[in-house]
Amino acid sequence: MAAPQAPGGSAAVVFAHDSERHFAELLDFYGVRWEYEPVQFVLQWRADGTPKEAFRPDFYLPDYACFIELTTLNQKLVTRKNAKVRRLRELHPGIEVKLLYQRDYLALLAKYGFARRSTPAA
């Protein structure tokens, strides 16, 4: 695993998408330790043994031993991420991974008093 987030929390990390930054800010606010994209899991290999398909969940919460993946309303991406999460669970049944859909992400922001963000999740 990678080291926990850099000093300064979410301000010190370059995120792939604003929704990831917003989610990290929520975690920072509540003092939840996290790591951003610390592990890549190979899901499929080529005949020569090199990775063909991989999955790198957005966050790891070390105190909960849980990975979090944010996703969008784009059905093609949601379907693909669901398939990757299923494959990860098949290969590594002991690894906890939660997929947060757009509705889940917006509900978290609302529940914990963060202004509604118009940016969709990654």
Give all domains of the chain, ordered by start, each with its CATH number.
9-111 (3.40.960)
State the Cα–Cα distance between residues 111 and 50, nearest whole angstrom: 43
Is the distance from CB of 60 to CB of 1 less than 8 angstroms? yes
Q: Is the pTM of this model over 0.85?
A: no
Give the integer Cα–Cα distance in Å for 80 and 78: 5
pLDDT in tens, 73-118: 676 778 888 999 999 999 999 999 999 988 888 888 788 777 654 4
